[in-house]
């Protein structure tokens, strides 16, 4: 009977994503969204509404962009840090934080004054000094390129610098070019023909870099005996390694140009100059590029991303190892009917990131 019929529904039920708060008319659309979004505890989140964002750039737009979320924007303006994008308890707390968060530019090394001149430190015990992380100590690298070929467009490594986590120089030397140089790119590199007269041969440079990264052990011994090779940090590492004619295991690379939270929302890389100004608070590369300065910038960005705390928000220490290896979503292991029965929160719980967060290092 009509009197016993269910009352008419007002409006339609919406299915809301627990991470980014997008809403869908059908549950199957929410499930499809979760499969391709790779939401996880490691995504940048608004400190006010806890909305997940694809990148730090999209989070910045959420709180300070042309069309910011009103409440989030007002809270961030009073209590937010424009560098790390975190929210603090009071304006006084954020003011004190900014004094630590905004860094000063390091003193540049400048050109090497003698030829040959190599600045190298003892690498034995380097991993133990001033480091309490979960994995091996990182080494940052940067190369300066001169031009080869008829039009000077071929990149040739002419100078290389490596630093440790304490920003101490481990290796700094000029490199003998493998082909004739047609453009020294002096306005950018500061390198002249005289700098390269007694430069270190490329093969020797390669050996020294590998010796540093593998702690003085042979590559095969390190791999066979489970030794810890160092993490290699840099900006556009693939390009630097290619110019050095070297390769290094992908899982040991920490590239600030390819790290998802530091990229543009459309997955295009930002320049190191932009990242340093935006997330560290100082300028680099205003004149001649100094490889030490670029090494320090990449290392500081890496350490800032690594020092973020995400595990306490849902991943326990016992789950961390398993989570590290789960860089693909778990949805394919569930049947469609099972997914349909899950709440939005449950769907979020089985979602995994598609990149390895540096906080797990």
Same domain as 254, residue 158: yes
Pick from 270, 291, 306: which residue ends a domain?
306
Same domain as 195, residue 280: yes
Peptide bond before 116: cis, by omega within 30 degrees of 0? yes
**DSSP SS3 for 159:** strand
Same domain as 313, residue 302: no
Residue 288 falls inside a structural domain: yes
Q: Which pLDDT score, from 0 to 100, does residue 294 have?
A: 97
Arithmetic mean of pLDDT over the chain: 86
Residue 60 falls inside a structural domain: yes
Q: Which pLDDT score, from 0 to 100, does residue 183 have?
A: 96
Same domain as 281, residue 132: yes
Among 38-52, 86-100, 117-131, 192-206, the minimum mean pLDDT is found in: 117-131
Question: Where is pLDDT greater, at 315 or 182?
Answer: 182
Among 60-69, 282-291, 311-320, 322-331, the minimum mean pLDDT is found in: 311-320
Same domain as 314, residue 205: no
Structure tokens belonging to residue 293: 């300065």
Among 19-33, 69-83, 212-226, the minimum mean pLDDT is found in: 212-226
Q: Which pLDDT score, from 0 to 100, does residue 228 have?
A: 79
> What range defines the domain where residue 326 resides?
14-101+309-360
Residue 109 falls inside a structural domain: no
* CATH number of 173's domain: 3.30.420.10
Question: Where is pLDDT greater, at 223 or 56?
Answer: 56
pLDDT at 218 exceeding the cut of 80: no
**DSSP SS3 for 146:** strand
Beta-carbon contacts of residue 55 (< 8 Å; ≥ 6 apart):
44, 260, 261, 262, 263, 264, 265
Same domain as 198, residue 184: yes
Q: Which pLDDT score, from 0 to 100, does residue 110 have?
A: 75
Same domain as 22, residue 169: no
Residue 140 falls inside a structural domain: yes
Beta bridge partners of 173: 160
pLDDT at 313 exceeding the cut of 50: no
> At 194, is the pLDDT very low, low, confident or very high (cuts 50, 70, 90)?
very high
Q: Which pLDDT score, from 0 to 100, does residue 329 have?
A: 65
Domain count of the fold of the chain: 2
Question: Where is pLDDT greater, at 109 or 93?
Answer: 93
Helix residue ranges per DSSP H, the chain:
27-37, 56-64, 70-79, 91-101, 186-189, 202-213, 219-224, 237-244, 272-279, 291-306, 317-324, 336-341, 344-349
- Across the range 249-265, mean pLDDT stands at 96
Same domain as 277, residue 156: yes
Same domain as 153, residue 213: yes
Residue 8 falls inside a structural domain: no
């Amino acid at each position: 009977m009509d009197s016993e019929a269910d009352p008419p529904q007002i409006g339609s039920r919406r299915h809301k994503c627990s991470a980014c708060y997008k809403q869908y008319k059908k549950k199957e659309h929410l499930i499809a969204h979760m499969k391709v979004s790779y939401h996880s505890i490691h995504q940048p989140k608004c400190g006010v509404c806890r909305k997940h964002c694809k990148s730090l750039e999209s989070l910045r737009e959420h709180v300070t962009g042309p069309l910011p979320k009103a409440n989030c924007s007002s809270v961030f303006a009073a209590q937010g840090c424009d560098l790390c994008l975190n929210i603090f308890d009071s304006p006084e707390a954020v003011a004190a934080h900014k004094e630590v968060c905004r860094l000063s530019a390091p003193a540049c090394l400048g050109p090497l004054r003698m030829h040959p001149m190599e600045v190298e430190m003892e690498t034995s015990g380097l991993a133990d000094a001033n480091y309490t992380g979960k994995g091996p100590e990182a080494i940052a690298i940067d190369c300066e390129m001169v031009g080869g070929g008829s039009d000077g467009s071929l990149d040739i490594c002419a100078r290389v610098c490596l630093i440790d986590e304490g920003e101490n120089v481990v290796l700094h030397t000029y490199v003998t070019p493998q082909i004739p140089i047609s453009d020294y790119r002096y306005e950018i590199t500061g390198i002249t023909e005289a700098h390269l007269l007694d430069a270190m041969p490329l093969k020797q440079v390669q050996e020294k870099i590998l010796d540093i990264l593998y702690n003085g052990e042979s590559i095969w011994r390190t791999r066979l005996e489970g030794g810890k090779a160092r993490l290699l940090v840099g900006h556009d590492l693939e390009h630097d390694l290619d110019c050095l004619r070297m390769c290094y295991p992908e899982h040991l690379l920490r590239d600030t140009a390819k790290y998802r939270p530091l990229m543009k929302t459309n997955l295009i890389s930002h320049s190191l100059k932009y990242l340093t100004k935006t997330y560290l608070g100082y300028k680099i590369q205003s004149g001649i590029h100094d490889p030490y300065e670029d090494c320090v910038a990449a290392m500081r960005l890496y350490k800032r991303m690594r020092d973020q705390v995400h595990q306490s928000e849902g991943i326990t220490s016992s789950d961390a190892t398993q989570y590290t290896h789960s860089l693909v979503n778990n949805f394919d292991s569930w049947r469609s009917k099972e997914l349909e029965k899950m709440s939005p929160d449950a769907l979020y719980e089985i979602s995994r990131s598609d990149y390895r967060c540096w906080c797990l290092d």
